[in-house]
Structure 1
Amino acid sequence: MTIYFYKVSEPYGCFSNFSPHGIHLDGEYWPTVEHYYQAHKFWGTEDAHSIEIIHKAPTPEMAASVGRDRTRKVRPDWEQVKCAIMRSAVLTKFITHEDIQTILLSTGDKVIVENSPTDYYWGCGSDRTGQNHLGQVLMSVRQEIRERLCKNRG
């Protein structure tokens, strides 16, 4: 069985980067993984002022809107670092919030897919041919948390 998720209000909505589960990373508190991820597009760029705008955005949708604004210049290494940045944020989210960690672990070895109709990189896209990198990150985080828990018990 495959677990599909997308909207925060739907089953497994806590897997979404828009879920209201804040994280502490890089010495700062971020309201959502989406805020953290979008802000990191602008580290060290002429549009670094966008980081604070994203950080203060009242919703993850607004943070995403600023981060996706094509008139802003993203860091030159963004394509090389974006998966690592996402994984770090998602891992922190599921280590920080035990309630959703339990949900993630309860998925066993099932495949997890972000059922985004528009995103063919992080999700599966409307025709389910997308790369599903967010699902892959979640499954990797699930495995790492399992390993950490086993090590702590041993």
Structure 2
Amino acid sequence: MKKILKKIASPLQIIVEESNTIKFYGVKNKNGLFSNFYQSSIKLKGKVWQTIEHSCQAQKYTGTAKEEEIRNFPCSGTAFRLGRKKNKQYPLRNDWKSVKDDIMQEAIKAKFTQHDNLKIILLSTKNHKIVEPTERDAYWADGGDDKGKNMLGILLMKLKKELSAENKNEDEQI
């Protein structure tokens, strides 16, 4: 049986699985606001990005025409495909593997701090585990079998903890 947390400052609802886990995959499915494809523009590095997906895919090609091509593309799905498409003209940045988690964390923080309704919803997830369940990705998601790294979920939970601590400190100062 599924439990629904109350609606908070938004028409969006969070659905918690029996295992006290919040699962999300894609923007049109339950809990889709946690997806990087969710339409919520962010300001980052002096630019406006339509979605986290646009920002993170483009950062693979920082300072090139491909970065701007990805940033300006109207569809996050195509931005995803452009970011993964390798070619000799726009090679993947050399340090991508070592910086991708920090780039993702920065984009997630922008999304959930620049949109108050999303911040409230993230904080409302309390101690629930956040997981992206898909066999399509064993790094950012759980690999479909809970054996993947689930780095996107881990980074969301890390941000939730950080924002919760900040709120607690602000409350204590009042």
1:99 aligns with 2:113: no
Q: 1:116 Cα deviation (Å)?
A: 2.2
Q: Kindly provide the amino acid, as one letter, of the partner of residue 96 in structure 1.
A: Q
1:123 aligns with 2:141: yes
* Aligned residue in 1 for 2:77: 61
Structure scoring higher RCO (CA < 8 A, sep ≥ 6) equals 1
* Aligned residue in 2 for 1:18: 37
How many pairs were matched up?
151
Q: Kindly provide the amino acid, as one letter, of the partner of residue 27 in structure 2.
A: V
Q: 1:79 Cα deviation (Å)?
A: 0.3
Q: 1:77 Cα deviation (Å)?
A: 0.5
TM-score by length of 2: 0.83
Distance 1:34 1:53 in 2: 13
* Aligned residue in 2 for 1:112: 130
Q: Pick which of 75-84 and 5-14 moved more.
A: 5-14
Unaligned residue ranges in structure 2 (runs of 5+):
1-19
2:130 alignment partner, SS class: strand
Distance 1:28 1:70 in 2: 24
Structure 1 residue aligned with 2:165, among 129, 147, 152?
A: 147
Q: How does 1:22-41 map to 2 (within 5 A)?
A: 22-41=41-60
Say what the alpha-carbon RMSD is for the aligned residues.
1.1
1:58 alignment partner, SS class: coil
TM-score by length of 1: 0.94
Report % sequence identity. 38
Unaligned residue ranges in structure 1 (runs of 5+):
none
* Aligned residue in 1 for 2:102: 84
Q: 1:106 Cα deviation (Å)?
A: 1.1
Q: 1:117 Cα deviation (Å)?
A: 2.4
Distance 2:118 2:30 in 1: 12
Deviations 1:22-43 (A, max 9, x none): 1001011100000000010012
User: Structure 1 runs of 4+ off > 4 angstroms?
Assistant: none
Distance 2:134 2:76 in 1: 16
Distance 2:144 2:31 in 1: 19
